[in-house]
Structure 1
Amino acid sequence: MNKSITNPKKSALDPIILNKLLEKYSEESSIKKWDMGASSSSDISVQVQQGNAKQLKGSQRNSMTLRVWNKNNQVGITSTSDLTSEGIKKAMKGAIEASLFGNEKDSPEFSSLAKSELEEINPEISNSHTIDQLLSILKKAEKELIDTHKSIDSVPYNGLNESYMERIYINSEGANRHMKLSQSSIYLYAKAEEQNKKPRSAGGIRINSNLEELDIDSCISETSDKLISHLDYKSIETNKYLVCFTPEAFLQLISAFSSMFNARSIIDGLSLMKEDSLGNQISVPNLNISDEGLHPKNVGAFSFDGEGTPTQNIQLVTNGILTQLLHSEATARKFGVRPTGHAGLGAKVSVSPDWLVVSKSESEMDKDESLSIKNTIKEYILIDELSAIHSGVKASQGSFSLPFDGWIVNDGKKTSIEAATVAGDILKVLSSILKIEDEQIVTHQGISPHVWVENMSITGEA
């Protein structure tokens, strides 16, 4: 029961040993070009139910992806969780065999930035805790949350986690990347029910680099306040409404359509954008969207990606214009630009955003300067959280239809919406933004202000 993360101060991956093994086996196999990305994670997590332990888990995971280039410049790729000498030897053999089936005409290369200087990130590695300690903290949080209101009867979904992660990238040309970090998170999702009413629920998440600084109290308060606000609910009519997205909800929506900024998705025909879309106006002129993996509030930031490219902050949308894309080495080569540090190493190199930041351009005006979340507006919908993202979004078409949690606000009074769905087209949404609030709010998934959008289709459900 007293299991803790194995000494987080000590590296689970040794780049010197791994490099020597790969040099040895590649030389024995007459392979002159290779690269390897590896990761290791150790974590413990607990869940509770009515003051008792529900689930206790401890795990350690290792993974490695190895690429080799044969004499014909064909690439073979293999992955393994066995990072012993024998495991790496087998991986090398498997990659060499796989290279015989590689495409000579479309071969990936090393990132041109794999040996360039990295942005200095020195995250403090937290001291490890035992499962008993995590269990005690979560039990206390569960009780405090239930005690905040008489109608809150349980916290059916919850979790407290402490993780330690390492990442390595090395290649035959001398690239050598190594970084480690720690992370703690808490998730509370509570349920409440009043007489003759349907059960209601709400949740909150907090993430930090160490357990001591994890803001559990604010997670309890947020969950309780949201849940209490949902107890008094009503159905709404199907109609078009003025909608205000909370920072969390707007980031969810943008993330669901991040293929717009993804060069890999564009090349594969899975994006709304085309190869010649750069420079196009895709939203109102006062919207800026950037991907800032190096932002100090991003506690999960690594300084390099799966190909060893330094992580970079990229301005994707500037004054409503699509200005840059997220690239791997291969997509950057096709577009004639430099890789951006957003690649994941695998059988097919993927591209994905790190930490989206939405902001308001100082040089442009809102469509409606009178709107403000602090002012009294006759009627609008406040959307707090979107659901069913995977099934309700057609990213390549731009359409979405998503259930949401939120409130209808009349003359300043918030009333929870029993059940409803918001639907639309992402490009129409971006062009229908009336106002972007000044205050940027940090969430667990990025940074955004409140964003107001006109004439959104809301379907009420009885």
Structure 2
Amino acid sequence: MSNITEIASYAQSTAQKLGIKKFDIYGSTVDETSVQVDQGEPQQMKASNRSGVTVRVWNGDHLVGVTSTTDVDPIGLELALKTAQEASAFGVKDNVPDFSPEATATIAPTHGGASDRIPQADVSKLLETLVDAEKQLLAAHPAIAGVPYNGLAQRAIDRFYLNSDGAMRHEAHSYASLYLYTKTEEEGRKPRSAGAFRVGTGLEKLDIDGCLKEAAEKTISHLNYEKVKTGKYRVVFSPEAFLSLLGAFSNLYNAQSILDKQSLSTPDSLNCAIASPLLSVCDDALHPDNVGAETFDGEGTPTRRVPLITNGILTSFLHSAGTAKRMNTEPTGNASMGAKVTVSPNFFHVFPGEAATEDYSLDTADNVILIDDLSALHAGVQALQGSFSLPFDGWLIKDGKRISIESATVAGDIREVLNSIIYVEKELEFTGSGVAPRVWVNELSVTGE
């Protein structure tokens, strides 16, 4: 990608030539290399360079036109500005988007910047690493017959935002990711699967041993499975499972969803109790564990820590510049630029709120279900009703011992789940979408096979 200063310079000169007084540009480029293997042999190798730029232009009637392009050279950018200028005649007249009031605000140096990039490893090194990881996993137990889903990838990302008021932001970072998902074969037994995922700033920073150990232990723990009786159970959500639910029902705290009346919340829900006082949740793009944290959003607004739920109270919504203006508050750094501006969470941080009156432990639990992973969220979640019915992988805890569950679904209402929390453990675990502890819920419906 061209130097951000050069892009800003010829964007400004081109805009003047076209008679454009107000515009902004958001762009990114991603260099990615990924590999997959099968029984020690390379199965797939990919390398790509993807770039995209979104241009917005406001006309004299304060209407905005939007266009996208993959070209950031002078010719491509001039065409994008001209197309957006022409499209502005057909721009929406209600709630017209505008620059973020914080697009020129200073980003603290401690938040990171353009220096967090680690040189990418050779493809041969990626293949060698993944082949070795597969080999170790296959040797972990005789029942592990294959690792059908696996992948090792590395990405280098550049992002920038600029506007005609002088805003100019740029950052670059890199990260690598590994996933391993096994499959077992035992005579007279159903195939069982389990997996693990790790992410780091680069290949050398990747916890490969931890990923191998977790995938092997989970797989082995699922070999001796049993059916579970249908009924009501005390349920413990793993960090990943709980964050999956939080993400599936993000309309609870998404200001755009609330304004569009596509949410379980209303503007009046702010400062109301929506969960047990034992629970606190923040959206924290700058959390130390967030590999490749972004310091600004698609509108140039600095990202930050946003307290969503504090001791069970809904304390904030996630905002773009437009939703913040409509709700008379400040943007939170959660906007994504596109044909329209959307709002989404960055990185969850779940932690205990008020102190619990009683501590719980899986080591002494009895008749408790531990849900490790939820499936089919695209089909089993009714986001506007608050209900869900989802297949899951997990264990029935009997006298502190884990018994793998053959097949089951868990069903409930997200509002009841949040209000039925009886314990939030203190130890946090990193997942791809945030950090969280295990969360205990008093009772949920579980349907066995």
Q: Structure 1-normalised TM-score?
A: 0.95
Decide which of 281, 289, 293 is 1:301's aligned counterpart.
293
Give secondary structure in 1 for the equivalent of 2:333: coil
Query: Does 2:153 align with 1:161?
Result: yes
- Write the mapping of 1:214-253 to structure 2, written as runs, cut at 5 A: 214-253=206-245
Q: CA RMSD in A?
A: 1.1
Match of 1:49, as an amino acid?
A: D
Tell me the percent identity.
Answer: 48
AA matched with 1:233: Y
In 2, the alpha carbon distance for the partners of 1:266 and 1:239 equals: 34
- For the Cα contact (< 8 Å) 1:119–1:310, is it kept in 2? no
Deviation, structure 1 residue 13: 3.7
Please state whether the residue corresponding to 1:428 is helix, strand or coil.
helix
Tell me the distance in 2 between the aligned counterparts of 1:50 and 1:36: 46
Partner of 2:399: 411
What displacement does 1:431 show? Answer: 0.7
What do the CA deviations read for 1:40-94 (whole angstroms, capped 9, x no partner)?
0101000000000100000001100000000111100000112222111111111
How far off its partner does 1:252 sit?
Answer: 1.1
Equivalent residue letter for 1:459: T
- 2:426 matched to which residue of 1? 438
- Which SS does the other structure have where 2:268 is aligned? coil
Provide Cα deviations, 1:262-289, integer angstroms capped at 9, x if missing partner: 1011111111101111011001112101
State the distance in 1 between where 2:28 and 2:233 align: 47
CA distance in 1, matches of 2:5, 2:338: 22
Contact 1:13–1:166 (8 Å) recurs in 2: no
Residues 148-297 of structure 1 mapped to structure 2, 5 A cutoff: 148-297=140-289
Aligned-residue offset at 1:106:
2.4
- Secondary structure of 2:267 counterpart: coil
Match of 2:117 in 1: 125
Please state if 1:448 is matched with 2:440: no
**Corresponding residue of 1:78:** 67
1:42 aligns to 2:16 (yes or no): no
Deviation of 1:135 after TM superposition, in Å, equals 0.6
Mapped pair 1:427 → 2:415:
yes
Match in the other structure for 1:393: 381
Cα distance in 2 between the residues matched to 1:94 and 1:216: 47
One-letter amino acid of the structure 1 residue matched with residue 146 of structure 2: S
One-letter amino acid matched to 2:267:
E
One-letter amino acid matched to 2:4: P
What amino acid sits opposite 1:295 in the alignment? H
| CA deviation after TM superposition for structure 1 residue 370, in Å | 4.3
Partner of 1:6: none
TM-score scaled to structure 2, two decimals? 0.98
Q: Which residue number in structure 1 is paired with residue 304 of structure 2? A: 312
Name segments (4+ residues, structure 1) moved above 3 Å: none
The equivalent of 2:81 in structure 1 is: 92
For structure 1, list consecutive stretches of 5 or more residues without a partner in the other structure: 1-11
What secondary structure sits across from 1:324 in the alignment?
coil
1:402 maps to amino acid: L
CA separation of 1:13 and 1:418: change in aligned 2, threshold 3 A = farther
Asked whether the equivalents of residues 72 and 104 of structure 1 are also in contact (C-alpha less than 8 Å), the reply is no
* CA deviation vs aligned residue, 1:289-326 (integer Å, no higher than 9, x gap): 10010001101211100000000100000110000011
Q: Provide the aligned length of Structure 1 versus Structure 2.
A: 446
* Alpha-carbon distance between aligned partners in 2 of 1:70 and 1:305, rounded to the nearest angstrom: 24
Task: Determine the C-alpha separation between the residues in 2 that align with 1:126 and 1:265.
Answer: 37
State the distance in 2 between where 1:133 and 1:377 align: 44
Structure 1: distance between partners of 2:409 and 2:283: 28
Paired with 1:45 and 1:451, the residues of 2 have a C-alpha distance of 34
